[in-house]
Chain A
């Protein structure tokens, strides 16, 4: 982003290639191609408009996700982007973690995460699946660092209980 601000036009293309694909995949889970393309392009148009707000060193991923969340909300979609994002991450194994497990295990994780309350689900999607540090998760969801840590802790405790229950059920 600093290179783009310095006038290096190709830096924008690099940003786009880095961040657009996971966004597009998540959007395509709930939208037709045209609408998904529209939101991806709107997100990067907004990123261009916001460029002079950027502080060097700040994480760009939270910016992009939050812009997409807000565009989706303003366009009054009846679904929640973070859910689609979570599904995409769980299904493809994208993001920061690798998945040394088979499809059934991924499905089981997805199903367990889906049982969590929305706020916990969102924090876990960003922290665990996407690998954002807690301070960037806090920026993205608009909560304090301690609130985000509490939500994540409660979410992981709840997940453990769900897995233990599932194991006990056989």
Chain B
């Protein structure tokens, strides 16, 4: 009853509503500054190239500082073939992940399957013949943290270049699997253990672990830009 004398707030006309929205949009654009905003505003070709460049840097670092002890003697054709297949799948998936929002839906599901299946397929191959005793070689014990770290860095890099405020379920799964694939790629350069059981239980499951990690972390990052 106390409010009986208070007139209701004036109803906005569509034009007023639109002008208010425009002002809000300008504020969002003004707030969208800094290094991340600059990266996200780059043309799509540049964003894709910069992500690949960053990943190439990480692989070079692995080769330089954390190279597997049997790298020189490992069968080169097998290494080259596996590496090439991983690289192509990685490039295709990253292209999909940094796809601009003005393009229609891509082939997210196909790439989810591809990135999940490739490490399993490679793990299921027979071990490289000369290295069946590989578990005794060098620093194989730390492969999970190294793979997780590599994958996590990929997720950070891709999200730094991704313009979308939120990641839906499909792209989140693809991001996790792509990070897992990159972890596998780095581990090919780092981990000398070549046994299928080890590859299946550790390397191939990186994608699952990284998808779960992303699921846990994403709500923190995904607060809409207001």
Chain A interface residues toward B at CB < 8 A: 13, 16-17, 20-21, 24, 37-38, 40-42, 44-53, 62-64, 66-67, 69-71, 73-76, 139-143
Contact = CB atoms under 8 A, between A and B. Distances in A.
Given A46-B101, A70-B105, A139-B104, A52 B42 contact: yes
A41 B24 contact: yes
Contacts of A51: 41
Contact of B32 (A24, A45, A53, A75): A45
Nearest to B172: A74
Contact of A66 (B22, B104, B165, B225): B104
A49 B40 contact: yes
B102 A63 contact: yes
Contact of A20 (B21, B41, B168, B224): B21
Given A21-B18, A49-B41, A75-B166, A140 B104 contact: yes
Given A66-B102, A69-B104, 18 more contacts: A16-B18, A17-B18, A20-B18, A24-B18, A24-B21, A37-B24, A40-B25, A42-B225, A48-B41, A50-B163, A53-B44, A67-B102, A70-B102, A73-B105, A73-B168, A74-B165, A74-B171, A143-B104
Contact of B167 (A38, A74, A140): A74
B62 to A, nearest CB: 32
Contacts of A20: 18, 21-22
B103 interface: yes
A16 B101 contact: no
B140 interface: no
Interface string B158-173: 0000011111110100
Interface of B: 14, 17-18, 21-22, 24-25, 28-29, 32, 37, 40-44, 100-106, 163-169, 171, 224-226
A127 to B, nearest CB: 15
Contact of A45 (B42, B102, B169, B225): B225
Which of A44, A63, A76 has the most chain B CB atoms closer than 10 A to its own CB? A44
A74 B163 contact: no
A49 B163 contact: yes
A19 B106 CA distance: 25
Contact of B21 (A37, A50, A52): A37
16 contacts: A17-B22, A20-B22, A24-B18, A42-B165, A42-B224, A42-B225, A44-B25, A46-B102, A52-B42, A53-B100, A69-B104, A70-B164, A74-B166, A75-B168, A76-B169, A139-B103
